[in-house]
Amino acid sequence: FFEIFNEPLQESWETDIMPYEQQIVDTIRRHSGNLIICGTRTWSQDVDLAADKPLKGFNLAYTLHFYAAYHKESLREKARVALSKGIALFASEWGTCYFDGNGQLDLNETNIWLDFLAEHNISDANWALNDKDEACSALLPGTQNKANWSTDVLTDSGRFVRSHLKSTREAETKKPAEEEGAAEPLDQISSAQGVHILFTLVLSLLAMGMTANLRA
């Protein structure tokens, strides 16, 4: 998929951001029908404004970025308004800390956000899969391996996100078995889980600094 404009600032949605993104959407659509994630005003927070005048096209989603120690219920209300108007959202960047990547973690508010994403079927990507010396990093500074990290090199944020991803995967694995009344073989992965795992791997390989949770 494509994410075409990372965190527009406070330009006008209708006269600046929207026309620019519409040109990109139209260009991509000449070559691909894949998902396009479109940036929204004010560092990808004003999703309600995008919902008032959405882009033309199909298979589009709009970015919602949040950092749990700073962004609270007021931003979730913006998201609810946008969803109520029929647009799709993708939380393509979120963190457990403050919006600058540092500060105290707010794991209670993070859980509120993650429940919100699950309730509304919003896919997400966590910042940040790196070893930078900041609170939102998943790895401790100086971590050398590029994969297969042990839990002792994870930060508090990294351990929290790992636990969340594991519990989400376990819940997704358990649900089909309960619905069918039979255990699912451990070596079989649903298509949704496969996308989730693949996307996480791709992000790791491309060093994009995020771990992801995709919801169909």
Catalytic residue numbers, as ranges: 7, 93
CA distances to 10, 78, 146 from 83, in Å: 21, 9, 38
Contact 121, 90 (CB under 8 A): no
Pairing of strands 2-3, 123-127: unpaired
Distances (CA, A) of 216 to 47, 119, 120, 195: 20, 13, 11, 9
User: Can you tell me the distance from the alpha carbon of 63 to that of 65, in angstroms, rounded to the nearest whole number?
Assistant: 6
